[in-house]
Homo-oligomer: A and B are copies of this chain.
Amino acid sequence: MLDTSSIYEQGLQRRTANHTPLSPLTFVKRAASIFPDKIAVIDGRRRFTYLELYRRCLRLASALQARGIGSQDTVAVLAPNSSALIEAHYGIGMAGAVLNTINTRLDADTIRFILTHGEAKAVLVDNELCSVAREAISQLESPPFVFDIVDPDADNGERIGEMDYEALLATGDEHFQWQLPDDEWTALALNYTSGTTGDPKGVVYHHRGAHLNAVGNALGFGLTAETIYLWTLPMFHCNGWSQNWAVTLMGGTHVCLRKVEAAAIYRLIEEYKVTHLSGAPIVLNMLAHASERPQKPYPRVIQIATGGAPPPSSVIERMESLGFKVTHLYGLTESYGPASFCLPQPEWSELDNQARCARMARQGVPMPMLADLMVANPDTLTPVAADGKEIGEILLRGNTLMKGYLKNPTATEKAFKDGWFHTGDLAVVHADGYIEIKDRAKDLIISGGENISTVEIEEVLYRHPSVMEAAVVAKPDNKWGETPCAFVTLNPGATPVTDKDIMEWCRAHLAHFKCPRVVVFAPLPKTSTGKVQKFELREQAKHL
C-alpha cells in the first residue's frame, strides 16, 4: 500500500512512540489524570469522581481477567442507566473483552437468544431485572458467570448470581495494568438490533469506530468539560449513541437515570444544572406534554439531541418553547448511533418558527467523522437529484460503521454491498444538500403508482392540536394497490375529534392522494426501544 521506494518511507515506519490504537478506553484514563477529583458519575445518592470511576473500571477489568475472561470474550450487561453500566463501557474493554449491552425491555426468550448467539461468558444483571434474567439464563447450555448489580436506592429482588457486583469489584486490583488491543480494528462492543422481524442481529463495533464517533458527537453536539449529561437515552441503545464515550472524552459529568419519567427528568435538570440530554422523539414528546414541564422557558440553554426516528417538527417547536435547543441526529445501530446531523445554517434564524423547525426535522448532513453519505438508487448507485423530490436510499461509508453482523455473513455482505452501507432508509436531498427521510424502505406506501411518505403524513398529523402521537401504514386496496391508514393517539384532555376531522385536517395540509382513507384512534404498539411497531399496525390495517 505504501510506496516503499519513496523518501517518505525510508526509516519512517510506525513505532510505539508515534502510532497507538484509537480506542475510547483511553478517555477514562485521561479524564482521571486531568480531573481526578471532579464528579464523573452521579447515580442516585452515589457520586464517583473520575479517579474513582477509573479505579472501579480497573477493578472490574482485573476481576474479570481473574475469572479467565479476557481477549474477545463477550460480557453481557442487563441494566438500566447506572454507574455500573458506565463502568462496563470501559472495564470490560480493559479486560480485552467485548461489551454486550442488552435492551432491558426484552423478554426472556430474546435475552436467551442474545446470550447464546453472542456466547456471553459473563453477565452483569441489575437486580431489578433478576426475574427475566433468571428465566433467560436458567435454560442456557453453558451458563455464564452471573453478577448482581444491586442499587442501594432501588427495590431489590432475589440474587441470581454468584456474587454482587460491588463484591466482584472488591476482588479486583485498582492498580491493574491494562493493555490497549494491538489493533484498533479489534471488537469492543456488540449491540443487537431490535429486530422488528426475525431474530435480532448482533452489530459488532471496533475500537477505532467508537473512538471516532465519540469525537464526532463531542464536536457535533458541543460537549465540553462543563457538560452535565443526563442519561435519558438508554445506554443499551448503540452505547448511548456513542455519547457515553463522548462525555468521558471531554471530562463531563454523567447523571444516571433509571426510568424515563418526566418528573424525575425535570427534577434532575434543575438539581444538577443539566446542560445536555438525548432521547427519541417520543421522549421529547412526553417531556413536552408532561404536567411537570416548566411554566416558563429555562433561562439557560439546555441542549437536547433527538434521533432514532424522524422527529415531527411540532415536537421540536414545543421543546424549543420550553427553552431546549434541539439537535437532530440521524443514525442506526450499525453506524454507532449518529451518522448525520441537522446542523443549522446561519440564514435559518430568519425563518419563522414553524419553517425553521421543519428544517431542523431533516436528517441533514454527515457528522464530522463520517467519510461519505449519499442518497442514491441502491442498485445503480446513481445519486438522486438534489430537488427534494426524487427518493433514494441513504448509503453510508466511513470508519464509524460496524465491522459487520456477528456470525451472519449473508446479512453483512448484503448490508455492505458495492462498497456502501445500505441503511434501508429512503430519503430525498434538498437543494441545500440536506437529506430528509421519507420512510423506511419497507414502510413506503405505493398508491396508484405514486410514492407516499408515511413520515410526511405523520408530520401533518402531529401538527393537529389534539394529536399526541400518530403512525401511518399502508392498507391493501383493490383499486390503488395501497392507501394510507392512520393510527392516532390524542392528547390527554384534548377536544374530542372524529376521524372526519382528522381527514379534513389532512386534506387541508396534504395533496389529496396522500390523505389517510381510514383513521383509527388507539394507543400505538411500540418496540422495546420505543419505536412504533408498524408491522403490527399493518396487520391491523389489513383487517379494517
Contact = CB atoms under 8 A, between A and B. Distances in A.
A532 interface: no
A455 interface: no
B222 A219 contact: no
Nearest to A396: B17
- Total identical chains: 2
Interface in A203-261: 204, 209, 212, 215, 218-219, 222, 224-225, 249-250
- What interface size band does chain A fall in? 35 or more
A281 to B, nearest CB: 24
Given A8-B98, A72-B3, A371-B26, A403 B33 contact: no
Contacts of A366: 30, 33-34
Interface stretch (A101-109, A129-137, A322-330, A406-414): A406-414
Contacts of A346: 38
B11 A409 contact: yes
A433 B433 CA distance: 46
Given A72-B6, A204-B8, A366-B30, A15 B419 contact: yes
Nearest to A419: B16
A72 to B, nearest CB: 4
Contacts of A98: 8
Nearest to A32: B433
Interface string A279-295: 00000000000000000
Contacts of A368: 30, 249-250
A476 interface: no
B398 A18 contact: yes
A141 B410 CA distance: 59
A454 interface: no
A11 B397 contact: no
B365 A34 contact: yes
A18 B406 contact: no
Given A6-B187, A407-B7, A17 B249 contact: no
Contacts of A71: 3, 6
Contact of A404 (B11, B22, B72): B11
A20 B403 contact: no
A397 B219 contact: no
Given A2-B186, A343-B34, A433-B34, A8 B406 contact: yes
A403 B16 contact: no
A119 interface: yes
Given A1-B183, A71-B3, A225-B343, A12 B399 contact: no
Interface in A1-49: 1-3, 6-12, 14-20, 22, 26, 30, 33-36, 38
A471 interface: no
A350 interface: no
A133 B412 CA distance: 56
B18 A399 contact: yes
25 contacts: A1-B182, A1-B183, A3-B71, A6-B187, A8-B72, A8-B187, A10-B407, A11-B404, A11-B413, A16-B397, A17-B420, A18-B398, A18-B401, A18-B403, A19-B185, A22-B212, A22-B399, A33-B365, A33-B366, A33-B433, A34-B366, A215-B219, A219-B250, A222-B224, A249-B368
9 residue pairs, one from A and one from B, having the closest CB atoms: A8-B187, A16-B419, A12-B403, A18-B401, A11-B409, A6-B72, A20-B371, A1-B182, A1-B183
